[in-house]
Amino acid sequence: MKKHLTVIGLFLILAFSLTIFSGCAEKKAVVKDEAIQEQKVAAAQEAAPAAVTADDEAARKAKEAADREAALKEQAAKDEAARREAARAAWAKKNAEALVELSLQNIYFDYDKSAIRPDAREILKANAEIFTKNSSAKIVVEGHCDERGTAEYNMALGERRAQEAKQYLVNLGIDASRIETISYGKERPLDNRSTEEAWAQNRRAQFLLK
């Protein structure tokens, strides 16, 4: 009786494990890529009629290697082209930004003054048009001073110049929340000389898109 049960048990285990293995094999087959299967079939067809000579075997291997190499080369060329395209696009984007910023002109101020001069009004209008066209970008207005006088007072004066320019842009319809001001006082001159000409260049507001 005991022996009988053991035999039945062993049989059951065998049957069970067989089911599992066959199940696994089935799943693997389903997962297999169609392409790979096709390749295998092609390879089998190619290999089947051919006489199995050493020369043929070598030629086949050489061809395979050449094909592989060609495929790699093609892929590399594709990658390179994509890279170039990305770089070109980035360059174009950057260049476009640079072009926009180039057309953003500085405005200039009188000594120890932050009032917008008449000659600055047209420039501010032109800048406002660019800001309107690039409506998603933030705007930074930098205020600068000439080298004369106290660093601290000049930081305040530079801020004042930036604020006046900002207010003018807001009056032209630019959303105030887009505009950020920053004063560099006399710390970032455009022209390092100590001449009237240099000072006039340095008393300015500069505009950036961000």
Nearer to other proteins, 110 or 122 (CB): 110
Strands (E), the chain: 107-108, 139-143, 179-183, 204-209
Number of DSSP helices (H) and strands (E) in the chain, helices first: 6, 4
Strands (E), 19-91: none
| CA atoms of 8 and 2, how far apart (whole Å) | 10
In the complex, minimum distance from the CB of residue 66 to other proteins, in angstroms, rounded to a whole number = 57
Nearer to other proteins, 155 or 172 (CB): 155
| CA atoms of 152 and 132, how far apart (whole Å) | 34
In the complex, minimum distance from the CB of residue 114 to other proteins, in angstroms, rounded to a whole number = 8
In the complex, minimum distance from the CB of residue 188 to other proteins, in angstroms, rounded to a whole number = 6
Nearer to other proteins, 133 or 210 (CB): 210
In the complex, minimum distance from the CB of residue 149 to other proteins, in angstroms, rounded to a whole number = 6
180, 131 contact by CB (below 8 A): no
Binding site for other proteins (CB under 8 A): 112, 149-153, 155-157, 159-160, 163, 180-185, 187-188
Nearer to other proteins, 149 or 172 (CB): 149
